[in-house]
Amino acid sequence: MSPRTMQYGNLRMTLPEGWSDGTQIVATGPAEQGFRSSLAVSSEPARPRETVTEYAARVAGMLSKVTEQFELVSERPATYGSVSGFMREYTHVARGVKLAQIQFYVLREGVVHTFTYTQRAERINVSRHVAERLFASVNLAPVSAPGASAAPVMRARARYVEPRFRRIIAA
C-alpha cells in the first residue's frame, strides 16, 4: 500500500501529495454521571531514528501548550501485556471539567501509536485498571507485504431476511 493511501476497514482513500493518514479510532465507555470515559488511538510517523521516549518528550511540549491547566502526574517506560512503550499521565481542564489522561506510546516500524485513555480526574484512580486492561490488549501485528492490506477488512454483518421476502430477493 502506498504511503499516500489511507485505509481503515473497508475505507480506502488516496491522499494528495504532502498529506498523511491521521486516522483516529475512538472507543467510549459507559456513561457515568453524564460523562463517558474514552480511549482514542492515533498513529503518526516517527522521525528517522527517533525512539518512543524521544517522541514522547517531543509531544510533551505541545501538550502543555494546547491544554488548559496542564499538570504532569507521571511518565516512565511501561509494558502492558506483551507490548512495551512509554506511559504518561497528566491532568488538564476541558470545558470547565478537570480530566485525567493516561497515554501509552508504542513505536512499531517507524510509526508511533498513541493510546489515550480519558477519565474525570476524580475518578482516574478507581478506573485506572480499565486503562491498563485496554493497553494490555494491544496487538500490533507486523505490516503485511507490499500491496497487501494492512488493516482488516470489515465486512457487513448478515441481516435477517423474512422467509417470505427471500423469493423476491432471489428473483
Adjacency order of strands within the sheet including 68-80? 24-32, 35-45, 111-120, 97-108, 83-94, 68-80
pLDDT given for residue 171 in this prediction: 40
- pLDDT score of 52 more than 60: yes
- pLDDT score of 83 more than 90: yes
- pLDDT score of 36 more than 60: yes
Q: What angle do CA 43, 44, 46 make, to 5 degrees?
A: 130
Domains of the chain, with CATH numbers? Answer: 5-170 (3.40.1000.10)
- State the pairing for strand pair 5-8/11-14: antiparallel
Q: How confident is the model at residue 165 (pLDDT cuts 50, 70, 90)?
A: very low
Put simply, whether the predicted model's pTM sits higher than 0.85 gets the answer no
**Helix/strand number for the chain, H first, E second:** 3, 8
pLDDT given for residue 140 in this prediction: 86
Contact indicator for 67, 91 with CB cutoff of 8 Å: no
Q: For 129-162, what is each residue's pLDDT tens digit?
A: 999 999 999 988 775 544 444 444 444 444 444 4
Specify the residue for cell string 474514552. 38
Q: For 6-32, what is each residue's pLDDT tens digit?
A: 777 777 888 888 887 777 778 889 988
Q: For 65-81, what is each residue's pLDDT tens digit?
A: 888 999 999 999 999 99
Residue 100 CA to residue 92 CA, distance in Å, equals 7
Please state the rounded mean pLDDT for residues 120-134.
95
User: Looking at residue 145, what DSSP letter applies?
Assistant: S
Residue 18 CA to residue 149 CA, distance in Å, equals 22
Backbone phi, psi, residue 11, to 5°? -90, 130
Q: Name residue 85's amino acid.
A: G
- pLDDT score of 119 more than 90: yes
- pLDDT score of 2 more than 80: no
pLDDT given for residue 144 in this prediction: 54
